[in-house]
Structure 1
Amino acid sequence: MSNSSQVETVSNSGDKVKVILAIVVLVAGIFAYSFFTDYSIYARLGMFLVGLVVAIALLAISDTGKRILGFATGSYAELKRVVWPTRKETIQMTGIVFAFVAVMAILLWIIDKLITWIVYGVVLGWN
């Protein structure tokens, strides 16, 4: 039985260079924003935004970026299908959680005091 299947990842070196370059440009934009503190906030924000836009553009033309964009699009479409609870349901569930936590805290406090009494009072004979 020589049924060997090979998994092949499709990635070329040009794609890797684009992704690495996008990361470098993004880091350069962040660095420029924090290094040039003597410039106005608008100039610094502009440096960051230019780095961000160039990084996104580089990532968008790579195969990895296209896969990420497809994943993000699918995730957003799935997010729109989620049925979110109403405000009333959220408040009710939060109240139930708080009540459960309070009951468990009291129960654990009682168990702790019982174990303390058994160990120190009964077993060791301390008061």
Structure 2
Amino acid sequence: MSSTQVETVSSGADKIKAVAAVLLVMIGLAAYYLLAPKGVMFQWSGLAGSLVLAFVIFLWSESGRSLIGFGRDSWREVRKVVWPTRREAIQTTVFVFVFSVTLALFLWFTDKTIEWVMYDLILGWKK
């Protein structure tokens, strides 16, 4: 069994960016509550501004660049998917529904047969 180790290298600048992003989120939350006497527009503006700034700083970090790369790769993979046509989707849905009903009827019939064998034939407990 091979064990793969993933090593993440994080520079001091990335750590500073992460701390700055977290601090900006906290500042935004504090501003939201401290700006309550000024009005709702000031509250939401302070919160939204600090969250946007924190997000931009996060995107400049190595983690943010990795997230952007992951998003691009995911989008590229989604574009490769061959989606079923409407007819194929309907046929598959009907097949699943018919199979489910058939299986339910089979299980019901099996349950009633076992119940009849156990209670009526073996134990003699007629209802």
TM over 0.5: yes
Pair 1:43–1:55, CA change in 2 (3 A):
same
**What are the Cα deviations for residues 47-70 of structure 1, in whole angstroms up to 9, with x where unaligned?**
554344223212201101111110
Pair 1:39–1:9, CA change in 2 (3 A):
same
1: CA distance, partners of 2:38 / 2:104: 54
For the pair 1:15 / 2:8, whether they are aligned, the reply is no
Q: CA deviation at 1:7?
A: 5.9
2: CA distance, partners of 1:21 / 1:103: 60
For the pair 1:117 / 2:116, whether they are aligned, the reply is yes
Deviates more, 1:49-58 or 1:91-100: 49-58
For the pair 1:97 / 2:96, whether they are aligned, the reply is yes
Structure 2: unaligned runs, 5 residues or longer = none
**Percent of pairs with identical residues:** 38
- State the TM-score, normalizing by the size of structure 1: 0.70
Pair 1:125–1:63, CA change in 2 (3 A):
same
2: CA distance, partners of 1:106 / 1:77: 44
Q: CA deviation at 1:118?
A: 1.9
Pair 1:40–1:76, CA change in 2 (3 A):
farther
Report the equivalent of 2:81. Answer: 82
Q: CA deviation at 1:81?
A: 1.6
Structure 1: unaligned runs, 5 residues or longer = 1-5
Q: CA deviation at 1:11?
A: 1.6
Deviates more, 1:111-120 or 1:46-55: 46-55
Q: CA deviation at 1:10?
A: 0.6
- Report the AA paired with residue 92 of structure 2: M
RMSD, aligned CA: 3.4
Q: How many residues align?
A: 122
For the pair 1:57 / 2:56, whether they are aligned, the reply is yes
**What are the Cα deviations for residues 32-80 of structure 1, in whole angstroms up to 9, with x where unaligned?**
879x999987666545543442232122011011111101111101111
